[in-house]
Amino acid sequence: MVFRDVKEDNKLVVNILIFLLALNVLLYVVYPPLRTATGIYGFLVVIALGVYTNGTFQDYLIGIKKSNLLKVLLIGAGFGLAFVILPRFIPGMSMGIPLLPAAVEDNLKWVVICLFAPIIEEILTRGALLGLVKYMERNRGISTFELWVAIIAQAIFFTLLHATSYAAGWYEAPTWMGAFGTLSAVSASLLAAFLFGVAAGWFVTRDGIENLGVSIVAHYIINQLLFVQMSVVGLSIFQFIVSII
């Protein structure tokens, strides 16, 4: 599908979002155990689509370039693998595994964790949010300080998105202190999400890169390895590999 005012680098993003929206709607209708996850991601896709199909923002959004695909894959894979290893060297940091209902089949858990999460979250945060900041600063450019403020702001938003997936039931806590206590229990995973958000924001805004493919690949690598850990065999293999690194 092609939109008249959409730049070439953003057309692929738009088509991916349309496909994911259709898949979200389908799963929401036919598979009730996933309705919370598909409802949230469907809402995020609609927001991202609204931004990426708006002709006003096209020159500021970060898209997916096809020209440097190999470079993107190598940088993204290296970035993702480094972030999986990093918690071994930083006290108080750990990679969180998104929580989904036990009734959900493994192949559908993979769809949410390894397909929806990496693509939709990266397009919305690293792509749309940073693009909108650039748009707001269009008349006078954006300083290095302002860019870093934007990178940190989108990383905070990215971290808040993960509060619901790491801390099951935090929004049902009877008091603010109860909700804070629930989030504190997964603070190590939220710290990792924030640091990833900052690092991914830095990568996709670098001259010579400016490609969402980098953060999407990195995010996918991390979530795929986390998904593998959810199985007994996969966990054993993962622990062995990490132990010899």
Which has the minimum average pLDDT: 72-81, 102-111, 198-207? 102-111
* Highest mean pLDDT, choosing among 7-11, 24-28, 88-92, 147-151: 24-28
pLDDT score for 239: 52
Split at pLDDT 50, 70, 90, the class of 243 is low
Residue 116 · residue 110 · CB < 8 Å: no
pLDDT score for 44: 93
Residue 112 · residue 101 · CB < 8 Å: no
What's the mean pLDDT when you consider all of the chain?
81
pLDDT score for 183: 54
Four-residue CA torsion sign, 100, 126, 61, 78: negative
pLDDT digits (tens, 9 = 90+) for 173-202: 444 444 455 555 467 778 888 999 999 999
Residue 197 · residue 161 · CB < 8 Å: no
pLDDT score for 71: 85
Tokens standing for residue 103:
């009734």
Report, as an integer, the average pLDDT of 213-218.
94
pLDDT digits (tens, 9 = 90+) for 79-104: 999 888 887 777 767 777 777 777 78
pLDDT score for 182: 53
pTM: predicted TM-score of the whole model, two decimal places: 0.85
pLDDT score for 178: 47
Residue 154 · residue 125 · CB < 8 Å: yes
Per-residue pLDDT for 8 more than 90?
A: no
Higher-confidence residue of 54 and 161: namely 54
pLDDT score for 20: 96
pLDDT score for 176: 44
Report, as an integer, the average pLDDT of 100-117.
86
